[in-house]
Amino acid sequence: MKEYNFTLKFNFAGARIDPDCYIDQLYEAGCDDALIGIGKQGCIALDFTRSASSAFDAISSAIGDVKKVIPDASLIEATPDFVGLTDTAKILGCTRQNIRNLIFNGDTRSPSPVYEGTPSIWHLAEILTWLREDKTYSVDDSLLEVAIINMEFNLARKWGKIEPGLQENIRALVC
């Protein structure tokens, strides 16, 4: 069993319900390995350190535990996934300038941002994979595994919002 660190952010239909009412229930339902944040009514965030045989098992069981207590909870985001240069540097324990130089040094294989602007945003999994495979950086296995699974959960959540009749047409155009 490995330990996986990740955060899950949810909203739920009862926006007027105080999320504080769920804290004890979440603890009893298996979220005793999470710090729970309840800053905004109708939203809740849980920062997990969960032991499991895989990142998928850790994250999916955590989502299941939340949905046992709040069945209408909708996953907003699983993190870490979307990152800027500063986030990436903090996660890797280096400087922002170091990450910027690595990504923008003319290497055509560097990951493309999902949003190119100020600031640009990438999937952490793509940066970590590139750093490990192309730049021979030492990347923590658990972190990479969580980043990959979170990216997949976030992409699946968005993909599910596309009209089913259009999914095949879109897949044919972009793949």
Is 151 in the same domain as 86? no
List Cβ neighbours of 124 (8 Å cut-off, separation of 6 or more).
80, 81, 82, 83, 87, 88, 91, 147, 150, 151
What per-residue confidence (pLDDT) applies to 76? 94
Tell me the per-residue pLDDT of 18-52, one tens digit each, with 9 for 90 and over: 777 889 999 999 999 999 998 777 889 999 999 99
Is 59 in the same domain as 108? no
Is 64 in the same domain as 98? no
Q: Helices H, strands E: what count in the chain?
A: 7, 6
The continuous run of DSSP H or E covering 156 comes out as: helix 141-159
Is 44 in the same domain as 89? no
Count the neighbouring beta carbons within 10 Å of the beta carbon of residue 50: 22
Q: pTM for the whole thing? A: 0.90
What per-residue confidence (pLDDT) applies to 85? 95
Residues 49 and 5: beta-carbon distance below 8 Å: yes
Number of structural domains (the chain) is: 2
Task: Say if residue 159 is exposed, middle or buried (CB neighbours under 10 Å; 0-12, 13-18, 19+).
Answer: exposed
Residue 68, domain extent: 2-79+147-168
Residues 145 and 58: beta-carbon distance below 8 Å: no
Both tokens of residue 129?
């994979």
- Is 40 in a helix, a strand, or coil? coil
Alpha helices in 40-140 (DSSP H): 55-69, 85-92, 96-103, 124-133
Low-confidence residues of the chain: pLDDT under 70: 14-16, 106
Tell me the per-residue pLDDT of 128-140, one tens digit each, with 9 for 90 and over: 999 999 888 899 9
Is 89 in the same domain as 74? no
Rg of the chain in Å (alpha carbons): 18
What per-residue confidence (pLDDT) applies to 29? 95
In a domain, 134, yes or no: yes
Instruction: Say how far apart CA 23 and CA 38 lie, in whole Å.
Output: 9
Mean pLDDT of the chain: 91
What per-residue confidence (pLDDT) applies to 22? 87
